[in-house]
């Protein structure tokens, strides 16, 4: 139909491709699984050798690349040829996870901040979970008020669990449980940048042009209908804010990185409008002042987009990790599924007898003989 209204000179490669790209994408799926760009780049590398010598031919160059790649697989600590190294890998030894990317600064953490960080590490370590339930059962036996008042039980449990764990006998426990029960050193190391789970984080005080300080976490929260409600319901809520400090807790045998953040109020500082998540980054910053820490391994990176300088609300944008893929967890917001498309389900009418010729002009019919 376009050829009836436009001259042949109009159909250059740029315009002509746009006609078929939409239908081709529906039939064939995503372009990165079928394009020839990687092969064309590799052929350019092979052709770029010195052609004046016998070694300059494409076949010899390809064999040389294959030999070097094969040998590098059997050399210890040798990087793979042709594979770009990931800058966000966890390479540091002696750390529980991740690695710092800035110069560390030694400092002494306040007692209440140290206790808050240590408490969060205990309550989010899989090996400590049996002791959590053991202490809850012990509290219910010592005081009958904890049987009817669940809120009082949880407050007492969080307040005194670290002290109770330090007094237990850990003869048959693992080394990590023993060091966790002793608690961390008061001297900690503070950083302004850290890499964990393929994500690069910086504190907000760095003032980088790229936003690397936004974090989010989904955590279990005790929900109450009012202040006099003795029962509680545990629900999953999402929290958003920026990183204020990156602290490395030293448990003598291993080190645990934690993020100290300024968290937005999940009630008044969070809302959803027109399908977008909005976060208020200028109000309710002291809501979680007594419990500001999270594990670095549980932090997810987010960006905040602001319409203008007059509003306090920012649009939330989630960020998938680069170079690291968890095949067991599928996040719909992280990437688009690459499931092959069933062409038979598409309503595409293809008529093989449709003539591809112009009717209003003279031409010569070419037939097979």
In this prediction, residue 82 carries a pLDDT of 61
Using pLDDT thresholds of 50, 70 and 90, give the confidence band for residue 340.
Answer: low
Using pLDDT thresholds of 50, 70 and 90, give the confidence band for residue 362.
Answer: low
Using pLDDT thresholds of 50, 70 and 90, give the confidence band for residue 246.
Answer: very high
- Please count the CA atoms within 13 angstroms of the CA of 356 that sit on its side-chain side: 4
Q: Is it the case that residue 339 has pLDDT exceeding 70?
A: no
CA-based end-to-end distance of the chain: 30
In this prediction, residue 1 carries a pLDDT of 77
Give the range with max mean pLDDT: 71-75, 132-136, 271-275, 362-366. Answer: 132-136
Please tell me the pTM assigned to this model.
0.61
Q: Is it the case that residue 21 has pLDDT exceeding 50?
A: yes
Q: Is it the case that residue 222 has pLDDT exceeding 80?
A: no
Bigger pLDDT: 356 vs 146: 146
Distance of CA 328 to the CA centre of its chain: 14
Give the range with max mean pLDDT: 66-80, 182-196, 265-279. Answer: 182-196
Using pLDDT thresholds of 50, 70 and 90, give the confidence band for residue 336.
Answer: very low
Task: Report the percent of the chain where pLDDT is more than 70.
Answer: 70
In this prediction, residue 284 carries a pLDDT of 64
34-38, 184-188, 216-220, 362-366: least confidently modelled range: 362-366
CB 51 within 8 A of CB 58: no
Return d(Cα 299, Cα 238) in angstroms, integer: 11
Using pLDDT thresholds of 50, 70 and 90, give the confidence band for residue 305.
Answer: confident
Q: Is it the case that residue 338 has pLDDT exceeding 50?
A: no
Mean pLDDT on 134-150: 84
Return d(Cα 82, Cα 113) in angstroms, integer: 47
CB 19 within 8 A of CB 2: yes
Using pLDDT thresholds of 50, 70 and 90, give the confidence band for residue 169.
Answer: confident
In this prediction, residue 178 carries a pLDDT of 87
* Averaged pLDDT score across all residues of the chain: 76
Mean pLDDT on 58-80: 77
Q: Is it the case that residue 177 has pLDDT exceeding 80?
A: yes
Using pLDDT thresholds of 50, 70 and 90, give the confidence band for residue 328.
Answer: very low
Reference 213, options 198, 227, 196, 201; nearest CA is 201
Q: Give me the residue spans of the domains in the chain.
A: 2-85+340-345, 99-318
Bigger pLDDT: 267 vs 256: 256
Return d(Cα 30, Cα 182) in angstroms, integer: 53
Using pLDDT thresholds of 50, 70 and 90, give the confidence band for residue 220.
Answer: low
CB 60 within 8 A of CB 72: no
Using pLDDT thresholds of 50, 70 and 90, give the confidence band for residue 95.
Answer: low
* Burial readout 232-260 (b: 16 or more C-beta within 10 A, e: otherwise): beeeeebbbbbbbbbbbbbbeeebbbbbb
């Amino acid at each position: 139909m376009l050829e009836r209204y436009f001259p042949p000179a109009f159909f250059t490669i740029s315009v002509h491709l746009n006609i078929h790209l939409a239908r081709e994408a529906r039939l064939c799926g995503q372009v990165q699984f079928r394009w020839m760009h990687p092969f064309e780049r590799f052929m350019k590398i092979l052709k770029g050798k010195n052609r004046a010598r016998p070694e300059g031919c494409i076949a010899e160059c390809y064999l040389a690349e294959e030999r070097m790649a094969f040998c590098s697989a059997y050399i210890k600590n040798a990087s793979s040829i042709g594979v770009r190294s990931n800058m966000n890998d966890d390479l540091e030894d002696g750390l529980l996870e991740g690695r710092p990317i800035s110069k560390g600064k030694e400092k002494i953490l306040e007692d209440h901040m140290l206790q808050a960080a240590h408490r969060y590490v205990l309550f989010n370590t899989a090996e400590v979970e049996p002791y959590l339930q053991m202490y809850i059962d012990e509290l219910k036996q010592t005081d009958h008020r904890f049987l009817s008042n669940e809120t009082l039980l949880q407050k007492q449990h969080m307040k005194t669990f670290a002290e109770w764990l330090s007094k237990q006998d850990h003869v048959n426990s693992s080394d990590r449980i023993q060091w966790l029960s002793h608690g961390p050193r008061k001297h900690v190391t503070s950083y302004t940048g850290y890499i964990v789970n393929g994500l690069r984080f910086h504190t907000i005080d760095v003032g980088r042009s790229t936003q690397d300080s936004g974090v989010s976490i989904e955590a279990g929260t005790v929900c109450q209908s009012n202040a006099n409600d003795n029962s509680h319901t545990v629900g999953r809520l999402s929290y958003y804010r920026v990183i204020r400090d990156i602290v490395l807790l030293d448990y003598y045998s291993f080190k645990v990185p934690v993020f100290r953040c300024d968290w937005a109020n999940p009630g008044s500082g969070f809302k959803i409008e027109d399908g977008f998540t909005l976060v208020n980054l200028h109000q309710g910053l002291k809501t979680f002042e007594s419990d500001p820490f999270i594990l670095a391994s549980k932090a997810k990176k987010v960006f905040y987009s602001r319409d203008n300088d007059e509003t306090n609300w920012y649009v939330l944008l989630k960020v998938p990790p680069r170079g690291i893929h968890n095949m067991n967890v599928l996040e719909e917001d992280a990437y688009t599924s690459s499931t092959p498309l069933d062409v038979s389900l598409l309503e595409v009418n293809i008529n093989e007898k449709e003539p591809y010729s112009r009717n209003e002009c003279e031409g010569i019919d070419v037939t097979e003989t």
